[in-house]
Structure 1
Amino acid sequence: MKKLLNTVYVTTDGASLRKEGENLVAEVDGAERARVPFHMLASIVTFGSICVSPALMAATAAAGITLVFLDRNGRFQARLEGPVTGNVLLRLSQYRGLDAPTNIACSIVIGKMMNQRSVLMRCLRDYGDDYVEADRRAIAAVIERMAQSIRRAELSDNSLDLLRGFEGEAANLYFSVFDHLIRSPDTELRWTGRSRRPPLDPINALLSFLYTLLTHDCRSACESVGLDPAVGFLHRVRPGRPSLALDLMEELRPVMADRLALSLINRRQLRAKDFETRDGGVVLLSDDARRTVLTAWQERKKEERLHPFLDEKVPLGLVPYLQAQMLARHLRGDLDAYPPYFWK
């Protein structure tokens, strides 16, 4: 599928990108390492110190290819794109939706909590016999308490602050037992709590990296259907923040990022040696580890799952685009409500 395989990730520090004819050419130390025709690309994502020629910048902007610059840790730095296209009537409907954002925000919050709960239930089902009784009971108790939070969110009284409170409560519950889901023998790969900017342990470094990749895909999904990625319903609108992309990402985090992080750690594809600690305690993925994660990320997006609303199997990589399309249909009035994605 085009939307799954048309992103090029450049991870080697010191690499150079240039235009040659209608091709992207990547070089390392003067030697050509890759060549991709422009017609096969939708975006280029660079990590760290990458040299990009002015001619390539101009060509990607003209061809509608997005060029994204991230630091070595995957933190967003800049984004280069050509003229913005989109349906002005859809965007007007999106802006008017800010007057009453609670219904959309409620769907997003419920989708996120349901998927977090499904991750815990899947781990309990897969590894339940291996847990000591206390850990098994702790996970089961959180699953039950999250079900109660979901019911309260469904009955909430149109208050965004209340919904955000339910979302925060569920996240605290979910991450309170996240360490029980990790089955690596490396003592360094334990979960002690969320640390974001900067990540201070390997698991947080891995999650932050995956969340960055997911945000990029969700932003592209919003733009592909003509939505403004900066105007969200759950996340507050702030200058420079892709609030709508972050909204869409919330319900997909447990499915596309958390599950992949757990798989990479539990299958021992990533070990403690794959992470580096820098000054100030900042933890980063090594270059080889980033490549491992990017390969797994692309393979994960090819996996097919049943979409509960469409009732058909679709690749996970297309889910952000499908959700953006359904949000656009809801804003146009074609759907009574925005249907979140529930993972099974």
Structure 2
Amino acid sequence: MKKLLNVLYVTNPDYYLRKEGLNVVVTLEGKRMGRFPIHILRQIVCFNYMGVSPDLMKLCMEEHVPITFFTPYGKYCGRVVGASYGNIYTRKKQYRLAESEASLDVARNMIYAKAYNSRKVLIRGRLDHKETLDSERVQEAIDAMKTWMTEIKTCKDKDSLRGMEGVIARLYFSVLDELIVKQRDDFYFIERSKRPPMDRFNALLSFFYAILANETAAALEGVGIDAYAGLFHTDRPGRVSMALDMIEEMRAFVVDKFCLSLVNLNRIDKRHFEVKENGACLLNDKGREIALNQWNKRAQEEIIHSFTEEKIKLGLLPHVQAQLLNAYLREDIEAYPPFMMGG
């Protein structure tokens, strides 16, 4: 099993990263702020303007530690990676699969798991907060989602599947606000707003969906799968469609539950956000620092994987799913097993 190494998040926009031997050194105006051995890092994620030295980029490429760049507000910019260690035969199979009818089977499994996990989050939320939420409204969404899950199993084409996925998402998001039970004056969810997010909870979702997509893309590339050649999302230049396919099954469990816990456990509040002139609501420097610290802590939590039945750290989930997809492409297993919440 792959070891869960650290992700170095650089949240201060004025930090600069450079190489010192086999170490990553973080500096501010020439003063050393931190030093990290390269061998303990899985990847580096930068939200800084100052950048990274060419020497450090070279070291990271040699050690297969990708460097990903976001704007300070969480918009993905790009990634620096070393020479591809992907298997060309695996990628050829992936491309053939993407053009074949068999790709519908994989996409259907992923979207079924998305519906299952989204519904599971609502069921747990209803049980945990039955005295504070509209149980009848939440139950209606839960029942409707179950009906659509039956439809997904027999779906015959991707366009229909995309329509079903949209219905599932609307049902889920229509009652997600009920699961926000603390700080109700400051956090609410009316509808999903993405570019840009228009309220604090959407800001959290957008930020961590981007983080999860990046981690999943890195996991896919790590086993030799092309993160840009998807099976459900349509191809688009610069879009990691395969990573976006895979995170569909993980969104509710990995990101949504996490964001709800940040708010409901008072780990973040309105002081950690800022509103731009266009109405966009975004995490500020302190907010990103707090949220990413909590994200790293949650990555260390252990879960039982639904297919392997092994205990794994949550942060390894994208890597396990990437390995399972790779096993399917190699024909080691008969079907791709998506992640399904337990309990």
Residues 192-246 of structure 1: CA deviation (Å, up to 9, x unaligned): 1111011111111110111111011101110111111111101111111111111
Which of 267, 270, 282 in structure 2 is aligned with 1:269?
267
Could you say which residue in structure 2 is the equivalent of 1:18? 18
Q: Secondary structure at the match of 2:77?
A: strand
Checking the alignment, whether the CA contact within 8 Å between 1:186 and 1:271 is kept in structure 2 is: no
Q: Secondary structure at the match of 2:218?
A: helix
Checking the alignment, whether the CA contact within 8 Å between 2:5 and 2:42 is kept in structure 1 is: no
Rate the CA distance shift 1:207–1:111 in 2: closer, same or farther, 3 A.
same
Is 1:236 matched with 2:238? Answer: no
Could you say which residue in structure 2 is the equivalent of 1:259? 257
Checking the alignment, whether the CA contact within 8 Å between 1:186 and 1:272 is kept in structure 2 is: no
Rate the CA distance shift 1:186–1:130 in 2: closer, same or farther, 3 A.
closer
Report the AA paired with residue 240 of structure 1.
G
Could you say which residue in structure 2 is the equivalent of 1:62? 62
Distance across 1 between alignment mates of 2:44 and 2:111? 31
Distance across 2 between alignment mates of 1:250 and 1:62? 31
Superposed, 1:1-344 pairs within 5 Å as 3-98=3-98, 99-100=100-101, 101-131=103-133, 135-157=134-156, 159-344=157-342
Report the AA paired with residue 94 of structure 2.
Q
Checking the alignment, whether the CA contact within 8 Å between 1:5 and 1:298 is kept in structure 2 is: no
Q: CA deviation at 1:336?
A: 1.3
Q: CA deviation at 1:289?
A: 1.1
Distance across 2 between alignment mates of 1:5 and 1:334? 27
Report the AA paired with residue 251 of structure 1.
E
Report the AA paired with residue 141 of structure 2.
V
Rate the CA distance shift 1:165–1:176 in 2: closer, same or farther, 3 A.
same
Distance across 1 between alignment mates of 2:67 and 2:96? 30
Checking the alignment, whether the CA contact within 8 Å between 1:107 and 1:338 is kept in structure 2 is: yes
Backbone CA RMSD of aligned residues: 1.3
Distance across 2 between alignment mates of 1:319 and 1:61? 24
Report the AA paired with residue 192 of structure 1.
I
Q: CA deviation at 1:54?
A: 1.8
Checking the alignment, whether the CA contact within 8 Å between 2:249 and 2:339 is kept in structure 1 is: yes
Distance across 2 between alignment mates of 1:211 and 1:151? 27
Across the two proteins, how many residue pairs are aligned to each other?
340
Checking the alignment, whether the CA contact within 8 Å between 2:9 and 2:46 is kept in structure 1 is: yes
Q: Secondary structure at the match of 2:248?
A: helix
Q: CA deviation at 1:94?
A: 0.5
Q: CA deviation at 1:45?
A: 0.6
Bigger shift: residues 107-116 or 65-74: 65-74
Residues 46-82 of structure 1: CA deviation (Å, up to 9, x unaligned): 0031331122122222222211110011110121111
Distance across 2 between alignment mates of 1:254 and 1:169? 15
Task: Determine what percentage of the aligned residue pairs are the same residue.
Answer: 39
Report the AA paired with residue 188 of structure 1.
D
Distance across 2 between alignment mates of 1:254 and 1:141? 18
Distance across 2 between alignment mates of 1:294 and 1:140? 33
Q: CA deviation at 1:2?
A: 6.5
Distance across 2 between alignment mates of 1:295 and 1:166? 35
Distance across 2 between alignment mates of 1:209 and 1:175? 17
Distance across 2 between alignment mates of 1:37 and 1:304? 25
Q: Secondary structure at the match of 2:236?
A: coil
Distance across 2 between alignment mates of 1:278 and 1:129? 36
Q: CA deviation at 1:310?
A: 1.1
* TM-score with structure 1 setting the length: 0.96
Q: CA deviation at 1:308?
A: 1.6
Checking the alignment, whether the CA contact within 8 Å between 1:120 and 1:139 is kept in structure 2 is: yes
Distance across 2 between alignment mates of 1:51 and 1:333? 42
Residues 138-185 of structure 1: CA deviation (Å, up to 9, x unaligned): 00010000000101101112x001111111000000000011110123
Residues 266-320 of structure 1: CA deviation (Å, up to 9, x unaligned): 1111111211001111111011111111111111111111112112221111111
Q: Secondary structure at the match of 1:32?
A: strand
Report the AA paired with residue 141 of structure 1.
E
Q: Secondary structure at the match of 1:194?
A: coil
Report the AA paired with residue 309 of structure 1.
F
Report the AA paired with residue 197 of structure 1.
R
Distance across 2 between alignment mates of 1:149 and 1:143? 10
Distance across 2 between alignment mates of 1:129 and 1:263? 18
Report the AA paired with residue 338 of structure 2.
P
